[in-house]
Amino acid sequence: MKVNKKFIVIIMLVAIISISASFTLKDSSPPHYENLKVLPKNISSKELQGIMVDDFQDGLGVTCNFCHATAKNGHGLDFVSDAKPEKEISRAMMRMTIGINKRYFKLKHPQIGNSNLTVTCNTCHRGEAFPDGIEGQK
Ligand code: HEC
Ligand code: HEC
């Protein structure tokens, strides 16, 4: 009888610990981005940062504030805001880039940041925001 009681207590403890562990895991991931319309909503912060830095910042030769507006309190950038038109233009460019890969290069589920994309921002932009290089547009 004694052994049985101990056994039940241990089982209950294990159950409680694993249930609370699954709750903590749910709370910590995925990150809570608020305004993603093209990228997957459950994207990891590592993937999102990679796209913002490698594809967008380096691909266009700009910094974050080219697309992201200054925060209302004047400190840093408001990444959620759509106040700068460059952000919405970028969404159109993202949809176009996905479309080109799907339609002309027959990729199954192309997504910005995938390493197997045939056409990326950099294919056209080559480190410049205005890839056609027409003077006066800069
Ligand atoms: C060429 C434009 C462009 C540049 C440069 C850029 N971003 Fe973005 N960023 C976007 C777009 C567009 C989205 C929204 C994507 C979507 O709707 O799926 C976004 C979304 C984000 C988000 C998610 C915000 C939210 O909660 O919805 C973060 C964070 C972010 N960017 C950080 C950065 C950082 C940090 C940099 C600089 C290293 C940067 N971005 C540079 C265009 C840009
Ligand atoms: C097929 C070629 C091509 C691809 C791929 C492409 N772009 Fe563009 N993009 C252009 C051209 C050309 C322009 C210039 C249009 C103009 O000057 O009117 C441009 C302009 C832009 C501008 C506007 C600059 C401004 O302020 O007028 C942004 C922002 C931009 N692209 C972001 C992106 C992002 C982000 C990606 C990748 C998701 C991307 N583009 C992929 C061809 C491309």
Which ligand 2 atom minimizes the distance to the CA of 130? Answer: 14
**Cis status of the peptide bond prior to 110, with omega within 30 of 0:** no
In this structure, the residue with its CA closest to atom 37 of ligand 1 is: 64
Say whether pLDDT at 129 is over 50.
Answer: yes
Say whether pLDDT at 33 is over 80.
Answer: yes
The confidence score (pLDDT) of residue 24 equals 59
Q: How far apart are CA 12 and CA 68, in angstroms?
A: 50
88 CB neighbour count, 10 Å cutoff: 13
Residue of 18 and 96 predicted with greater confidence: 96
The confidence score (pLDDT) of residue 23 equals 61
Say whether pLDDT at 25 is over 60.
Answer: no
Arithmetic mean of pLDDT over the chain: 89
Which ligand 1 atom minimizes the distance to the CA of 32? Answer: 26
Measured at the CA of 131, the angle between CA 63 and CA 114, to 5 degrees, comes to 65
Say whether pLDDT at 101 is over 80.
Answer: yes
Asked whether the beta carbons of 99 and 93 are under 8 A apart, the reply is no
